[in-house]
Amino acid sequence: MSSDPWGRVDETGTVYVRTADGEQVVGSWQAGSPDEALAYFERKYEGLVVEIGLLERRVKTTDLSAKDAQIAIDHIREQVDAHHAVGDLEALKKRLDKLVETVDARREERKVQRAKQSDEARHSKEALVVEAEELAQSDQWRAAGERLRSLVDTWKGLPRLDRKSDDELWHRFSHARSAFSKRRKAHFASLDAQREDARKTKEKLVAEAESLSASTDWGPTAARYRELMADWKAAGRAQREHEDDLWNRFRGAQDVFFAARSSVFAERDAEQSENLKLKEELAEEAEKLVPVQDLKAARAAFRSINERWEAIGHVPRDARPKVEGRMHAVERALQESEEAEWRRTNPEARARAEGLTGQLQAAVDKLQGQIETARAAGNTSRADKLQKELDGRQALLDQALKGLQEFGG
């Protein structure tokens, strides 16, 4: 005979499990040793433990319905009550009882939740009805129509109420939609006369547009086409069966004109691109004059370059600032050189510079003599003070000498 804390096998091969109500027969084992018998039925117990654990997790973490959960609990309980496993069956029963309590609580929660959802659905549908009744009086035909269609989709996504309440609310909702639809149809019926007037107006616009399509008077004709387009938009829409044909003729006439203009402009652009290359070459030639070495020769060369520049036609608008800027930069450099030469040869400015330099030199010489006298007398404090003053005058003298050199002095 073999046994463990929860079961045993007698000499006949009968397997027992120990429960709170005493030993219960599990089954008969003839295929091996008693230990193998206990191991087999203990594995069946472990299987039940796993099943219960999985069910506990499903109840806790998924939206398993109370009905399906109870079916699963009853199925496992049947296996536990059948005593076909060796282990702590009472512990399994307690876990199943706990699961039943959890499922019952979940069932009650869902009942409350369904009641809440029903109440929310009622309020939502009442709000939809109120909005639909307001939209039924709107003149914003497209926006209101789209919103009403959106309300229908929202309605379809809401849970049904009790039949009486749902039918009453739907009747009001449907009536509001029908009222809006009737008003919209009446409105668009009144537009037929306006659309006929629009058709006649657009026929005239098309005729003029077609008569202008061969024009080569590019600016005024393009401006007139813009006016015709403004008139077209102001005319409103014609009947659908006429609108597209009129538009195709109107647009086609414009396309013929603008295609011809584009072809002419393309030729002009090619010419201007070639002009740009020539002007870039002249700009490069002019830039070689800087820095200026011989002002007279540089000015003569620049005049020659500028004459060739003026003989060349227009360049593309977007390239004009850059290439002209290069020429202007050279011209500014020449002007600055002329101004510098004038300053250098200006006798009045030279005389002022020489006078200032002489005054500063005299002041420096005087201070140097005073410093020597003070040091000889042992007056260090006065010598240091005079030295600071000398340093400042010497700096001014250096600047004045540098300026004088610009005059060739």
Most confident of 222-226, 339-343, 364-368: 222-226
Average pLDDT over residues 337-366: 77
pLDDT digits (tens, 9 = 90+) for 250-266: 899 889 988 998 888 78
pLDDT higher than 70, residue 319: yes
pLDDT digits (tens, 9 = 90+) for 67-109: 888 899 999 999 998 888 999 999 999 999 999 998 888 888 8
Residue 110 pLDDT class (50, 70, 90 cuts) = confident
**Which of residues 157 and 349 earns the better pLDDT score?**
157
pLDDT higher than 70, residue 384: yes
pLDDT in the model for residue 66: 85
Q: What angle do CA 346, 352, 354 make, to 5 degrees?
A: 100
- The contacts of residue 103 (CB under 8 Å, 6+ apart) are 59, 66, 69, 70, 73
Average pLDDT over residues 309-322: 90
Residue 1 pLDDT class (50, 70, 90 cuts) = low
Q: Where are the domains of the chain?
A: 2-113, 118-192, 200-265, 269-345, 347-405
Amino acid at 275: N
Architecture of domain 2-113: Up-down Bundle (1.20)
pLDDT in the model for residue 174: 92
Distance separating the N- and C-terminal Cα atoms of the chain: 133
pLDDT higher than 90, residue 51: yes
pLDDT in the model for residue 46: 94
